[in-house]
Structure formats: structure tokens, C-alpha cells
Structure 1
Amino acid sequence: ERVRGALLAGPLAESGMFDPGTVRQMVEQHENGSRDHSTPLWTLLMYDAFLRNVMGLTSLRSAA
């Protein structure tokens, strides 16, 4: 559930850099065990974390 929320509703989804249908399909296939997408999903999660940190730093700078 946490992976789904991060990848389908967070900064990664909002960035428009990845097709949300493809990401959703990868998450669903991984969750139901039909495919092992652990490596690309981990990469997407790390990119999402990067976006969150960069966005956080940007908003802190603009608030200062």
C-alpha cells in the first residue's frame, strides 16, 4: 500500500516523467506475484524520495 501511494499519488506521479498506467501495472503485477518488478520499483521509489527531498529543500529556501 505504501508503494502504491508513493508511486501513484506522490511527486513521481505528478512529475509526468513516467506513464502512470505502466507504473500502476508494474505495482499490480508485483503485488499479485505474477511478475517480479522489485528492481524497477525500488528505483522509482528512490527517485520519488529524491523528488520529495528536493521539493522540501526548495520550499524551505523559498520560506526563508
Structure 2
Amino acid sequence: MDENTRYVLNNTSHQDFDGHTEFARMTPDQRLSWLDEANAAYVELHALVKPSLRIAETDPPYGTPPK
């Protein structure tokens, strides 16, 4: 995880995730972009907790399923 991501995570609170992103008002392209970023963050953070779920850079686009 890069320093910028660590900084953001260390400086957030539960109010930052209260739905004020106005997802319903976003364009379809903005929604897909937001979901893509949210998914990438989830995968990266989840891999910190469960190293067996890490996705190698050489794996297919979505990585190798956990065993």
C-alpha cells in the first residue's frame, strides 16, 4: 500500500462513509469508476488480513481463486 493510501486511511472517520458521495446523482461512468476504485481498495485491504487472497501481478485479470 502506498504512502498516500495509508495517509487517507489514517485520516478518515466513519462520517466519511455515511453515503454523502451522492452515488445516485453520479453518471453511469462515474458510478463504474467509483465502484472500480472501491473494489480495488477492498481487495488490497482484504489481502492484508488474508494473505492467501493476494492477487499476483502475473495472474489472469482477476487473479487466482483462493484454495
Task: Tell me the TM-score range normalised by the shorter chain.
Answer: 0.3 to 0.5
TM-score (norm: length of structure 1) = 0.44
Larger Rg: 1 or 2?
A: 2
More relative contact order, 1 or 2 (CA 8 Å, 6+ apart): 1
Return the structure number with greater helix share. 1
